[in-house]
Chains A and B, each alone.
Chain A
């Protein structure tokens, strides 16, 4: 969409502006500049934005890729890849990243589907306000939710405080925030609205007469959800799910803020290699792998969503 709109928009303004400014003076025929502007091929208008994009985005990316092939000893080789792939820290980070991302995505899909259905189909006071709030929630930074969870489940948080007050114990039972489960909980909490957004849009398109006809035909609510609502929500689920999957793979703030020691994901590994160990080639290798997974998943998503007809 954006790629076709860009060249057109400047073309239109360019034909109009000279027309207005030269018209009153009467020295130039008013049509001439318009014709000139039209003669400039369209791709010319695309050049400046592409140049800016290349400079601020593609060039650093290229540097990262280049760095990943440049071992400290000098020259160009795939040695950094061999080293990184062979290291235990990378393998475990890759596994952690993938299972956290997949787990969070599945959690978000299930929770988001249930919540979106309640908001869309169970009329309750304040339902609209909740739907509005979800939009606002999307603009929150991810670490905010981790912070909020710390206040609730942290060592000195609300839940543990209530427990110690009630039982007189010195320590509360909630000690999972610094484990992978804490990260999973935080990611599911934060990313669920990203699934709900497209789902709510899809549900608002759903003809409620379909649901009524289905139940008059003898279908119980569970069957209606499975056979009528779910199939029509699939494109939205695919869209929301793949977005969340990619975002989870790249999530940094949440993992950092939970302070989970044993939870090293790929972005965390990049951070520690680059900033803490100053091992830039290794950091760049991990970054390249991370980017490759993201882009790969995105392409897969586009293929799938085109199949589904979204």
Chain B
């Protein structure tokens, strides 16, 4: 605990952690392990319980049941100030009456780091986030992005084994956000021992930064895996649509090998373990859908066209099902009501068994 030592490698483990507010379960038996040195993104829509999970690690909510571990240490009943965790929140929460250097020194003094060592550690932390030149300023004299850098330096100064970030970039504008994202990635390369739990509702942040992503919805963990894994092989409908906004089509597995039936059309799709005759959900990413004839051709009517600079997004109605297609900017913009043919390659499709759909849809029951 006394600050001199380097941070200990310690991961985070949720063991069946549930949190309830007045009978309302906002975190339902979360089981999740963040390995030492790993960046885990907690991704999900607003209200899905991400912040609650993070606060359970920091010690600001007491789980109704389950245990929280830091490394091998069970910290479930430990007060926040004894956990040795770095925390960064959306609105920076810098101490307004302290200069930048005193903000960063706060944790060091609180943890009784030897006085003569403090200036050096403050300088080191500010250097890491490129804010050394601003040490004498007050928070109100800094921009939002600079304030967030200071908040990160303040959290890192205590050399925590675990860093918790709750939507740290949400208060920044889009351009700053991508810059800060790169900075965070660099910081993690410089501090490979720190485990990071990164809460966000933004899939780009999660895909960019995380070693693994835990997808949350309706108080439950829906899916967990590497970004590539979740993106290419989503296991639930929720993951498929929340990460990458996939097309989801209801199909029935046909008798033939690797063939499904979609609204009377036979499509070639690897059916994997889904048994014949079963209903399933076909999942195809919009940017993997092509225009014109090809394998797995689908005819439909254009209901909406959006020009997005480098791409065109088409919404095509196919027998009452809406299919999204992201196409490289088209020379001739198609018109509403045009009949078009879309196609996709068999290997770009994923078949989700019906059970997975139910698991994602009815997150809170059972």
Q: Which listed segment binds A: B30-38, B80-88, B185-193?
A: B80-88
Give every chain B residue within 8 A of A218 (Cβ-Cβ). Answer: 1, 81-82, 84, 107, 110-111, 158
A223-B110, A227-B106 given as contacts; is B86 within 8 A of A216 (CB)?
A: yes
CB of A296 closer than 8 Å to a CB of B? no
Give every chain B residue within 8 A of A220 (Cβ-Cβ). Answer: 81, 110
Q: How many whole Å from A122's CB to the nearest CB in chain B?
A: 15
Alpha-carbon distance A232/B111, docked complex (angstroms): 22
Q: Which listed segment binds B: A73-81, A97-105, A206-214?
A: A206-214
Give every chain B residue within 8 A of A9 (Cβ-Cβ). Answer: none
A190-249 CB contacts (< 8 Å) to partner B? 207, 209-210, 212-220, 223, 227-228, 231-232
Alpha-carbon distance A65/B97, docked complex (angstroms): 45
Residue of B nearest to A219 (CB): B110
Q: How many whole Å from A228's CB to the nearest CB in chain B?
A: 6
A216 CB contact (under 8 Å) in B81, B95, B97: B81
Q: How many whole Å from A233's CB to the nearest CB in chain B?
A: 11
* B96–A215 CB distance below 8 A: no
* B96–A216 CB distance below 8 A: no
* B95–A210 CB distance below 8 A: yes
Alpha-carbon distance A63/B82, docked complex (angstroms): 67
* B84–A232 CB distance below 8 A: no
Q: How many whole Å from B91's CB to the nearest CB in chain A?
A: 6
Count of inter-chain pairs, beta carbons less than 8 A: 68
Give every chain B residue within 8 A of A214 (Cβ-Cβ). Answer: 95, 106, 110
* B110–A213 CB distance below 8 A: no
Give every chain B residue within 8 A of A216 (Cβ-Cβ). Answer: 58-59, 80-81, 83, 85-87, 164
B76-113 CB contacts (< 8 Å) to partner A? 79-87, 89, 91, 93-98, 106-107, 110-111
A232 CB contact (under 8 Å) in B79, B82, B96, B107: B96
Q: For the complex, would chain A's binding face be called helix, strand, loop or mixed by DSSP majority? A: helix
Alpha-carbon distance A258/B322, docked complex (angstroms): 83
Residue of B nearest to A207 (CB): B93
* B97–A232 CB distance below 8 A: yes
Give every chain A residue within 8 A of B164 (Cβ-Cβ). Answer: 216
Alpha-carbon distance A213/B91, docked complex (angstroms): 11
* A215–B80 CB distance below 8 A: yes
Residue of B nearest to A230 (CB): B97
* B106–A215 CB distance below 8 A: no
CB of B307 closer than 8 Å to a CB of A? no
User: What's the tally of chain B residues with a CB closer than 8 Å to chain A?
Assistant: 30
CB of B13 closer than 8 Å to a CB of A? no
* B97–A215 CB distance below 8 A: no
Give every chain B residue within 8 A of A215 (Cβ-Cβ). Answer: 79-81
* A209–B93 CB distance below 8 A: yes
* A217–B154 CB distance below 8 A: yes
Give every chain B residue within 8 A of A227 (Cβ-Cβ). Answer: 95, 106
Give every chain B residue within 8 A of A213 (Cβ-Cβ). Answer: 87, 89, 93, 151, 154-155
Alpha-carbon distance A218/B93, docked complex (angstroms): 16
* B87–A212 CB distance below 8 A: yes
* A231–B97 CB distance below 8 A: yes
* A217–B110 CB distance below 8 A: yes
Interface centre among A209, A215, A218, by most B CB within 10 Å?
Answer: A218
Alpha-carbon distance A219/B87, docked complex (angstroms): 13
* B80–A207 CB distance below 8 A: no
Interface centre among A216, A223, A227, by most B CB within 10 Å?
Answer: A216
* B93–A217 CB distance below 8 A: no
Q: How many whole Å from B140's CB to the nearest CB in chain A?
A: 11
Residue of A nearest to B1 (CB): A218
Q: How many whole Å from B141's CB to the nearest CB in chain A?
A: 14
Alpha-carbon distance A120/B110, docked complex (angstroms): 24
Give every chain A residue within 8 A of B95 (Cβ-Cβ). Answer: 210, 214, 227-228, 231
* A217–B79 CB distance below 8 A: no
Residue of B nearest to A213 (CB): B93
A217-B154, A218-B111, A231-B97 given as contacts; is B106 within 8 A of A212 (CB)?
A: no
Q: How many whole Å from B290's CB to the nearest CB in chain A?
A: 48
Convert B1-38 into 0s and 1s, putting 1 for each residue whose CB lies closer than 8 angstroms to a CB of A: 10000000000000000000000000000000000000
Interface centre among B1, B91, B93, B111, by most A CB within 10 Å?
Answer: B93
Alpha-carbon distance A79/B233, docked complex (angstroms): 100
A32-58 CB contacts (< 8 Å) to partner B? none
* B106–A219 CB distance below 8 A: yes
Q: How many whole Å from A280's CB to the nearest CB in chain B?
A: 51
Give every chain B residue within 8 A of A228 (Cβ-Cβ). Answer: 95
Alpha-carbon distance A228/B87, docked complex (angstroms): 17
Q: How many whole Å from A62's CB to the nearest CB in chain B?
A: 44
Give every chain B residue within 8 A of A207 (Cβ-Cβ). Answer: 91, 93
Alpha-carbon distance A239/B314, docked complex (angstroms): 63
Give every chain A residue within 8 A of B59 (Cβ-Cβ). Answer: 216
Residue of A nearest to B166 (CB): A209
Give every chain B residue within 8 A of A210 (Cβ-Cβ). Answer: 93-95
* B81–A219 CB distance below 8 A: yes
* A212–B107 CB distance below 8 A: no
Alpha-carbon distance A227/B110, docked complex (angstroms): 10
B58 CB contact (under 8 Å) in A212, A219, A231, A232: A212
Q: Which 3 A-B pairs have the closest CB atoms?
A: A217-B107, A209-B93, A219-B110
Apart from A207-B93, A216-B87, list 12 A-B contacts with CB within 8 A: A209-B93, A212-B58, A213-B87, A213-B151, A214-B106, A217-B106, A217-B110, A218-B84, A218-B111, A231-B97, A232-B96, A232-B97
- Sample 10 A-B pairs with CB under 8 A, ordered by A number: A210-B95, A213-B87, A215-B79, A216-B59, A216-B83, A216-B85, A216-B87, A217-B155, A218-B84, A218-B158
A contact set with B: CB distance below 8 Å: 207, 209-210, 212-220, 223, 227-228, 231-232
B contact set with A: CB distance below 8 Å: 1, 58-60, 79-87, 89, 91, 93-98, 106-107, 110-111, 151, 154-155, 158, 164
